[in-house]
Amino acid sequence: MTDRLHITVLRGGPSAEREVSLRSGDAVARALRSLGHRIDEVDPVPGAPEIPDGTDVVFLALHGTYGEDGTVQSELEELGVPYTGCGVRASLYAFDKILTKRRCLRAGVPTARFERFIDADAPWPDGWRPPVVIKPARQGSSVGLRFVDRIEDFPGALAFSLSHGGEVLMEERIAGRETTVGLLDGEPLPVVEVRPRSGAYDYANKYTTGRTEYFCPAEFPGEVTRAIQAAALGAFHAVGCRDYARVDVMVRPDGSPVVLEVNTLPGMTETSLLPKAAAAADIGFAELCERMVRRALARPATER
């Protein structure tokens, strides 16, 4: 490390992912302190994040609404404080799963077929057959997610997802292997395969120790690995990301990738998926956090 920085870690916040964000923030703060930096930890109030005087850079360890949808990014830009991760527009696009899909389609990035719903009384759409996935357009960590295997289960699943937001995405449920690709400095890291021991990779399986197995690097033929990484990189560029992100990708049995979503502020505990991928590339957790900070500081003032 070349110099000691004053870094403010924003964690917690008002979203449904608050507890996950607190864990991310605690891990990041410990890592950055271990490198000798001066760290303040702030649980922000929307509209008025209190950034301590003398802060060199803000590390965003927020997840969900306010943290990932461009709101806090806009507030920090008004304050003139550099921050880690994607800018306002990319955060807005990536947090909205429907906008992400539209931008992926425009860019030729493979993504699952989908429909949009805003009405809890909407009928089952013509031309569709189960199984499908129903989820809020603007939530993360599988909040509000439902799997529908029978048409008669659709109304309840739709109402449940709409209770977590005013717009819902229905997409085909892809049969295959579930992966995620971390991107750092705009380059793909080793692919992580996610295998729940039972059921789907929902909120409980994500955050309950021992309920999911992770394999990194994932065991795919080289050409499939490259295709997965290329799809993830395509989505990264399609929504205008910078510095780092994580892209969730399903892989069909024939090896073809299908992008699900882009996460601009992925989990940052030492066992989270982006740090797992970085570790497989011989990048330790503290080094990963440091690189995120340095990328934020290296941007021109007009792009912070």
Q: Which residues are catalytic?
A: 17, 141, 207, 246, 248, 261, 263, 267
Token digits of residue 199 = 């059921």
Instruction: Encode 163-222 in three state secondary structure.
Output: CCCCCEEEEECCCCEEEEEEEECCEEEEEEEEEECCCCCCHHHHHCCCCEEEECCCCCCH
215, β-bridge pairs: 193
- Residue pair 68/62 in contact (Cβ under 8 Å)? The answer is yes
- The secondary structure of the chain in percent helix, strand, coil, rounded to multiples of 5, reads 35, 25, 45
HSE-CB for 56 with a 13 A CA cutoff: 15
Task: Give, as one character, the DSSP assignment of residue 4.
Answer: -
Residues in the chain, total: 304
Cα–Cα distance, 177 to 251 (Å, whole number) = 5
Alpha-carbon gap, residue 304 to 297, rounded angstroms: 8
